[in-house]
Amino acid sequence: MVNELRPLTGADLPALLQLDQQLFLEPWSADAFQRALDTERYLALGVFAGARLVGYLVGSAVADEGELLQIGVTPESRRQGIAAVLLAEFRRWLSQRRVAAVFLEVRASARGAIAFYGQAGFTQIGRRKDYYLSSAGREDALLFSLTL
């Protein structure tokens, strides 16, 4: 099945919520996604295999800073370059807005995501102690940045 990359719309909201809830312990609310879909400073992108949403990215740009807010790929579609395509498109969007650097926070336990960010050129710039809820109580957030 050929994958298609395109901006997400309100019609994608049910699939987006379902995938986000499947992937994250603290998923976004429908309102949070709706705001991202409706607001100019956000970018919401999806990768589709036929009609099925298999990956998504939500990011923002405020002044000269970008933020990667959420990225996820269904377990069965991983290691096929889908997140890399989403990130490349986000970087292109940021560059058009003359954004100089992009930041993100990730759970310290998210080894796959940390490996992905590392190979994409991000460097760790900080740590927020006990920032996230976790099944074991709380866990740290790692802060990463990438200069564009």
Ligand X SMILES: CC(C)(COP(=O)(O)OP(=O)(O)OC[C@H]1O[C@@H](n2cnc3c(N)ncnc32)[C@H](O)[C@@H]1OP(=O)(O)O)[C@@H](O)C(=O)NCCC(=O)NCCS
- Of the residues 28, 90, 116, 122, which one makes contact with ligand X according to CB under 6 A: 116
Of 138, 141, 41, the residue nearest 97 (C-alpha): 41
CB of 36 to ligand X, least distance (A): 15
Question: Rule CB under 6 A: is residue 108 a binding residue for ligand X?
Answer: no
| Known active-site residue 40 | no
Nearest alpha carbon to residue 108 among 75, 137, 130, 123: 130
Give ∠ CA 96-82-30 in degrees, rounded to 5: 75
User: Helices 30-38 and 13-23 sit at what angle, rounded to 10 degrees?
Assistant: 130
Range in contact with ligand X (rule: CB under 6 A) among 13-21, 26-34, 73-81, 139-147: 73-81
Does position 72 interact with ligand X (CB under 6 A)? The reply is yes
Binding of residue 113 to ligand X (CB under 6 A): yes
Query: Helix, strand, coil % (nearest 5) of the chain?
Result: 35, 45, 25
Q: Please indicate whether residue 65 is annotated as part of the active site.
A: no
Between 29 and 98, whose beta carbon lies closer to ligand X? 29
Residue 90 · residue 43 · CB < 8 Å: yes
| Of the residues 115, 125, 133, 148, which one makes contact with ligand X according to CB under 6 A | 115
Nearer to ligand X, 88 or 98 (CB): 88
Residue 110 touches ligand X, criterion: CB under 6 A: yes
Catalytic annotation, residues: 105, 117
